[in-house]
Structure 1
């Protein structure tokens, strides 16, 4: 290498350090094209950072973003961010990952995920505007588990999700629950329904969403255990979520109930059909022969009749209890009822079916098993609370 070449490369380094990124990039690109062997390891690092600053950091041109990031991965190797604070390789690849994830391009995302060694990623979270943001390692696992599931690589989804659960020391926004959720969904796709239920019950301890109940009901239905399927189906139907987002739940209910209670099963399929017709959506072929008079369907009436059925189903074998509201927390969202048997029972205010919760109020209620996230143990909570005169 001549003295002039080394002088130019040193000038490129000084230009970068002075934040003259374009000047630095022009010099590095020239020598990389003409005589790439002249670039030493530090030249490659500064060349990579120049590419990052110009084409990757805030780039809106997809082609330039991909081309620059690809060049970075050819120039240098990924460094260990548990020992260093910066790495042009990792920063560049993650910019591509963020872009692809936003585009929901999961197949290409997997290609770029495979350029990352997750063991070299840090677990440093950061806070901004009272929000906690994921570490790079957690983001990697979020992207990877979602991508493998969406691409139907269920075995790999399970493998990476389990790796996330064993290697992360902190979880943001219940990400550990979503890893278990994806494991369960993948196991169902692999016809391992009993194993799926193990993970779903872990999810249910924290998330009481309708779709979790539905997923459990569906697994029991596949296992031909309609009794347990009905139990979780009931909880899914009785949530207060809009019926339009639960449309497929009513189709599942129809399949579970059609040989148990044909009349109520038909109401579920009518509601399913009405929602589908309202949105001009296709319906499964197996309901094509059913006698559904769509011009007479009233979604509100059907929803009320269905909820009445499931409310009776839910509480038919439960003991109705009575007690007094003795504590409401300052945030107003929950509190405690002291039962007539002198037991203290936790409640959420949304369980009040009539009126609002107030101290000293005498109420009736049922109880069900719950999970105390603060104490990390099973508990009991009051549900279907009604004020008593």
Structure 2
């Protein structure tokens, strides 16, 4: 068997998604070739690292690279890096280590353009360069692994290195700078910078972060304002259980004890409904307030009551719609049939239901995004158009 035959066999197994068989085949036949010859073959290197990522053999990647004296091909690096992000659960420690295998200064700065179809129209879309993607992954990995000083430094360097950004990366870099400063003890600068980010990107989790700093500073009125804006903002309530605890804590400081209890209770019931662990601190807070706890079957009533309470803080100009008078707002079953883009910003593509295709777009911060792939069955609804947005698809649950 020649080295070419060896590489083609590995590629064929990967193309069939038989990644475990790829690893077995490599182990059984690698001794026929010199380690350095394997390491110099960029096709074998790419396919083997791909198989190791797919099978979650992360540490073996670095052993494989060391044993075969591999210098990663910079042109393949970006494709391999993206494979980590496609995993249902991203191992940011590994991503951070993987980023260090190349010199960022040697990565391509070219921004390729692809053609995407949206609502039946084909439009050009410019992609981030490998260099910009490296900074996006590296800073995210540093933040997730709590290396805040390095996260701050690399995020700052990223903002200085590029004149044009993609997928709102300039906003995410600025956010990481602000949050790193907070963790490094500079909450004043962190707050000011998060407020600037919020002017450009009104996401609930950024409002939540602003509220947390105001609470830590003892400004409970402003903390409450931003926390309520966050709870009223777009996003599944089930994934705002931490925000509910924050609101409960703020209400406690404002001496609104019963409302505080109900927010703690809602956080606990949502966790129980989703079969998530209830933190001991949450149980302690509820016991400390002394009210009789609400049973799980009363969750719909509690949710409705508190939603009505939150709605009293909405701005008068906010318009709502009556779902009973429209065909939208109903839960529908569908299947993901195409992924157009999958990047730092999130994913978009098409799903199909009852013979009709619908365009969807999900943020990288949306909890279901890692589980959205071609072939996945989903539960979704169609949100009606508003004054500023067209009709939108909202994915609510991944079924299989």
Please tell me whether residue 97 in structure 1 is matched to residue 93 in structure 2.
Answer: no
Residue 56 of structure 1: which of 32, 46, 49 is its match?
Answer: 46
Q: Which residue of 1 aligns with 2:180?
A: 186
Residue 111 of structure 2: which of 125, 149, 154 is its match?
Answer: 125
3-state SS of paired residue (2:41): helix
3-state SS of paired residue (2:149): helix
Q: Evaluate the alpha carbon distance shift between residue 312 and residue 108 of structure 1 in structure 2; reply closer, same or farther with a 3 A threshold.
A: closer
Q: Which residue of 2 aligns with 1:283?
A: 279
Q: Evaluate the alpha carbon distance shift between residue 57 and residue 127 of structure 1 in structure 2; reply closer, same or farther with a 3 A threshold.
A: farther
CA distance in 2: counterparts of 1:144 and 1:182, whole angstroms: 11
Shift, 1:52, TM fit: 0.7
Q: Which residue of 2 aligns with 1:243?
A: 237
With a CA cutoff of 8 Å and minimum separation of 6, indicate the structure with the bigger relative contact order: 2
Aligned residues of 2:171 and 2:197 also touching (Cα < 8 A):
yes
Residue 273 of structure 1: which of 262, 268, 272 is its match?
Answer: 268
CA RMSD of aligned residues (A): 3.6
Q: Evaluate the alpha carbon distance shift between residue 129 and residue 216 of structure 1 in structure 2; reply closer, same or farther with a 3 A threshold.
A: same
Equivalent residues in 2 for 1:68-79, closer than 5 Å: 69-70=65-66, 74=69
3-state SS of paired residue (1:129): strand
Shift, 1:67, TM fit: 5.9
Please tell me whether residue 298 in structure 1 is matched to residue 298 in structure 2.
Answer: yes
Q: Evaluate the alpha carbon distance shift between residue 288 and residue 299 of structure 1 in structure 2; reply closer, same or farther with a 3 A threshold.
A: closer
CA distance in 1: counterparts of 2:82 and 2:271, whole angstroms: 34
Deviations 1:152-207 (A, max 9, x none): 11111111111111102222211111112222222232232222112211221222
Equivalent residues in 2 for 1:1-389, closer than 5 Å: 51-57=41-47, 60-62=50-52, 69-70=65-66, 74=69, 89-94=73-78, 96-103=80-87, 104-130=90-116, 131-260=125-254, 261-280=256-275, 281-285=277-281, 286-289=284-287, 290=289, 291-295=291-295, 298-315=298-315, 351-354=318-321
Matched residues, number: 281
Q: Evaluate the alpha carbon distance shift between residue 49 and residue 134 of structure 1 in structure 2; reply closer, same or farther with a 3 A threshold.
A: farther
Q: TM-score, normalised by structure 1?
A: 0.62
Structure 1 unaligned regions, length at least 5 = 1-14, 24-28, 37-46, 77-87, 322-350, 357-381, 384-389
| Higher alpha-carbon Rg | 1
